[in-house]
Amino acid sequence: MERKLNAELWDKMHYLFRDFNDRMVHVELNYDFEIDVDALKTVLICFFEKAPVLHSRFVDNHFSTHWEVMPYNINDVVTVAYPDDVPAAVEEFLTQYIPPESHLQMKAAVFFKDGKSTICIVENHMCMDGGDLKYFVNALCENYNAYVNEHKSPIALRTGSRSYEEVYSSFSPTETRMAKNLYKNVCAKDDHSFPLTNNSISDVSFIARRKIDEERFMKIKAVGKKHGATINDMLVTAYFYSLYELAGYNPYDSVTISCAIDLRRHIKDTSEMGITNHTAFMQCNIPERGRDIFQTLNYVVRSVNKFKNDKFMGLYGLPLLKFGYSILPHTASEEVIKIGYSNPLLAMSNIGILKADKLALSGHEPTDAFMTGAVKYKPYVLLSATSYKNVVTLSMCVRGNEQDKKIVNDFFDLMEKNLDVLIGDTAE
């Protein structure tokens, strides 16, 4: 019998983002031993059964949308290969696109070389965001270990509601009502963009990365503390400052970067929730570049703190979106929402810390781990940041050409340079 799942609000929103990005979220984990592929497949089947949205196809019949659960075979999910050039194989695998109409919404690959393994996972953002993918990967490792070591069935994955309304679940009735009355369009209205080349049909997806070593990471942390700033604030500051330099914006121009925020901060207990999206954006806005990077940092801290002090941070606009999708057939709703929605040209997503102990398989911690967001279509860009063992990986996924790759790498050079300036403050 045909099994259908509800298309939740964020599923529809990410579907709407098809004009701006490829909606894929990427994970790469490197291990210094050969993992047990059969065990990994067993865990993945159990997880796919626990989260059927991962083996469903998205149905848009113009009037309404839903997920239709489809049969699958794990061999279609997991690719096992022994490539000579692992980084190239990883890049090729990670930059693939899974259409929402596909019967599978997640794919994994295991690459073996010289007794080492690399696990890559690509999934459709419509199913879950970076926050839940991080949980998913942690649970995958935990269940793998329990299965391999104790032969415990790998079925410990959260199941439950995928509704956006879960963000209200920890609120009092009065707070819920207040939050549900936040009919406000909080889209970024800023024309400043990343200086990439024009779109071309020969553009291909690529993931540009840059690592910030442990020593610098610790210094960033220390300087941030001194200025009342988080690591995220420091990175956003360097992002802003580097952009002014790279794109040649007028220093007196006000610029906005949309920063992803995890709405799970509003939920006290997530154990009864299914894997889903709970990410919104806050507009981090600076009035001008400032005379130096420290003034930029002040602007950033001020802007971010205003949001942090807001009890309903990130919940603005949700009732408006819900209303938009409720009153009209799906296609008409999309058109109406597109009128009010403007996708941010500049965005940042700090996925956060990837914990080595949680990602360990059979007692082996990953030698490196990394996660990043979707491949954005020009002129939109998203800077992702993850940290693993105190090493920060900055990444930008772009559909572009060699020139764009160079521009992004120049941007990373500027980021590093500006972070060094910030760090220099500690030495003074």
Question: Which residues contribute to the site for other proteins (CB under 8 A)?
Answer: 41-42, 45-46, 48-50, 55, 71-75, 147, 151, 153-155, 174, 177-179, 181-182, 184, 186, 254, 283, 285-287, 303, 306-307, 309-312, 316
Min CB(62)–other proteins separation in Å = 16
Min CB(340)–other proteins separation in Å = 16
CB nearer other proteins, residue 18 or residue 177: 177
CB nearer other proteins, residue 154 or residue 400: 154
Check: CB of residue 419 under 8 Å from CB of residue 207: no
**Closest to 207 (Cα-Cα) out of 288, 90, 128:** 90
CB nearer other proteins, residue 46 or residue 415: 46
CA dihedral of 142, 146, 149, 150, whole degrees rounded to 10: 170
Min CB(279)–other proteins separation in Å = 17
Min CB(423)–other proteins separation in Å = 28
CB nearer other proteins, residue 179 or residue 273: 179
| CA atoms 166, 171, 173, 176: torsion sign | negative
Min CB(129)–other proteins separation in Å = 21
Distance CA 255, CA 191 (A): 8
End-to-end CA distance of the chain: 70
Min CB(287)–other proteins separation in Å = 5
CB nearer other proteins, residue 146 or residue 353: 146
**Closest to 92 (Cα-Cα) out of 79, 105, 74:** 79
Min CB(311)–other proteins separation in Å = 7
Min CB(420)–other proteins separation in Å = 28
Min CB(391)–other proteins separation in Å = 33
CB nearer other proteins, residue 104 or residue 238: 104
Distance CA 420, CA 287 (A): 23
Distance CA 121, CA 123 (A): 7
CB nearer other proteins, residue 121 or residue 423: 121
Residue whose tokens read 């060699």: 402
CB nearer other proteins, residue 208 or residue 286: 286
Min CB(298)–other proteins separation in Å = 13
CB nearer other proteins, residue 159 or residue 367: 159
Check: CB of residue 382 under 8 Å from CB of residue 26: no
CB nearer other proteins, residue 230 or residue 256: 256
